[in-house]
């Protein structure tokens, strides 16, 4: 991919550089950070406090806000939304899939139905009854179990396992090592041991969902575990059986949602959050990192801590806790003063004439 600056500005609908500027002939061959950029890279900056970083950068051009200071460094391209404009161009530099066609080592059951222009990598296994939508890309070592369905334009990266009867909507991305539709963690004590509860449900993932590396989404005991459209799940996230994750939710790395819980649309769950079973997190809620959610969270609330409670309350409690050593020292000092006063009063009482 190659852009001259006129093409780039036209693509972003921003003003072209002045024709007399010697820097306007630069060719953009990639995107990068300000610190690492070369003369053919495009970068972006959003705030005035990045002026020195822009000035020191070797970038060919930098997307900046319309009110960014004028400097003598790289060519500045002014945009009302420099971050969005930068990533609009960055999308053009995403490498094409290295998987083309169907590798001869792939094992595909004769009953599987493949859409147009499907690509399947080495050693992938496509079981009976699988349906793969048009332009699907299946990476090396992927396992698609019986009756799995993938919508059009899905990317399933290497070594992903999608177990029986799972449903994945259009334009989903599942990154390497993730397991979709493994058994939920269901056991009951029968007096002599933990008896396994059959996990007979399935996983349904709606369109435009992205799931990071080494995440797990468990099948339902009965019915469905569902992840609704547009949700983005980070690496190493656990979604347990019969959970319902709403639309456009963010689940950050190492968070976990226990069985039969619900997370409302637009909620943000930060890293290492644990959500207990049968809990409902309302739409638009925000849960701070490492929180333990043991009861329902209202829609739009911001909570933090273990157990999770309104973030302002938790921060006040933490501020008070930080003062505890000084308070303990004060209490000990006052205790010693009181003891001395008690001893003095006792002495005076003994000295009083009868």
User: Annotated catalytic sites, by residue?
Assistant: 241
Contacts of 111 (CB under 8 A, 6+ apart): 128, 129
Spell 283-295 as b/e; 16+ CB within 10 A means b: bbbbbbebbebee
Select from 101, 251, 243 the least CA-distant residue to 185.
243
Q: Which residue has the tokens 């319902």?
A: 244
Pick the closest to residue 285 from 264, 310, 255 (CA basis).
Answer: 264
User: Cα-flanking dihedrals φ and ψ of residue 105, to 5°?
Assistant: -85, -5
Residues 217, 234 contacting (CB under 8 angstroms):
no
Question: What is d(CA 134, CA 143) in angstroms, rounded to the nearest whole number?
Answer: 18
Report the distance separating Cα 341 and Cα 201, nearest Å: 73
How many angstroms separate the CA atoms of 214 and 164, rounded?
A: 19
CB atoms within 10 A of CB 208: 19
Taking each helix axis as running N to C, give the angle between helix 82-90 and helix 5-12, from 0 to 180 degrees, rounded to the nearest 10.
120
Q: What's the token pair of residue 162?
A: 């999608």
């Amino acid at each position: 991919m190659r852009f001259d600056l006129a093409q780039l500005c036209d693509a972003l609908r921003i003003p072209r550089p002045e024709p007399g500027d010697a820097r306007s002939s630069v060719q953009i061959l990639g995107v990068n950070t300000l610190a690492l950029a070369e003369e053919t890279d495009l970068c972006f900056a959003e705030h005035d406090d990045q002026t020195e970083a822009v000035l020191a950068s070797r970038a060919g051009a930098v997307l900046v806000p319309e009110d960014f200071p004028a400097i003598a460094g790289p060519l500045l391209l002014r945009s009302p939304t420099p971050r969005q404009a930068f990533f609009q161009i960055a999308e053009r530099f995403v490498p094409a899939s290295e998987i083309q066609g169907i590798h001869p080592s792939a094992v595909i059951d004769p009953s599987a139905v493949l859409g147009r222009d499907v690509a399947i990598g080495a050693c992938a296994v496509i079981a009976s009854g699988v349906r793969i939508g048009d332009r699907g890309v299946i990476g090396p070592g992927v396992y698609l179990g019986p009756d799995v369905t993938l919508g059009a334009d899905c990317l399933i990266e290497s070594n992903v396992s999608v177990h029986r009867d799972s449903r994945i909507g259009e334009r989903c991305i599942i990154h390497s090592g993730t397991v979709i539709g493994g058994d939920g963690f269901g056991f009951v004590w029968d007096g002599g041991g933990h008896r396994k509860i059959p996990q007979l449900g399935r996983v349904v993932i709606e369109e435009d969902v992205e799931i990071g590396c080494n995440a797990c989404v468990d099948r339902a005991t009965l019915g469905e575990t569902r992840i609704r459209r547009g949700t983005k799940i980070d690496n190493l996230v656990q979604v347990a059986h019969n959970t319902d994750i709403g639309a456009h939710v963010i689940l950050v790395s190492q968070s976990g949602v226990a069985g039969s819980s619900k997370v409302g649309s637009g909620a943000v769950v930060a890293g290492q959050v644990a959500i207990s079973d049968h809990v409902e997190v309302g739409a638009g809620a925000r849960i701070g990192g490492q929180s333990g959610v043991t009861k329902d969270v209202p829609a739009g609330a911001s909570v933090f801590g273990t157990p999770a409670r309104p973030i302002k309350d938790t921060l006040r409690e933490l501020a008070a806790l930080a003062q505890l050593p000084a308070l303990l020292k004060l209490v000990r000092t006052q205790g010693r003063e009181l003891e001395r006063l008690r001893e003095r009063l006792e002495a005076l009482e003994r000295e009083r004439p009868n």
